[in-house]
Amino acid sequence: MCNPVEGCFSVLKAKIKACLAVDREEICDRRRNFHRDEDGNLLTLFESQMRFLEHAARLSMRCMTPTLVLQMELHCRDAVMSAKNFVNMRYET
């Protein structure tokens, strides 16, 4: 990976997915789950799901820290330097 933004968004996406997993039953329950907006109007299925996604995104934004960005920049720097020097990539688990 040569783009630190990709790494940061991967972390953000993982956090959002974790938040959505917690609310999965409520998101998927169509029978008892009629969400309403601030004025009491019924939300469409799409609007309701978008509210869950927006809430998860707001909660997950806390993971985007200067430390994370720096870590991703250093990771990309190391990957680019290794490629420049023809060093074989090592995959560690």
Give the model's pLDDT for residue 1: 66
Q: Which amino acid is at 14?
A: A
Taking the C-alpha atoms of residue 70 and residue 63, their distance in angstroms, rounded to an integer, is 13
Provide, rounded to the nearest whole percent, the portion of the chain with pLDDT above 90.
Answer: 53
Higher pLDDT, 58 or 2: 58
In this prediction the pTM is 0.74
Q: Break the chain into its structural domains and give their ranges.
A: 4-84
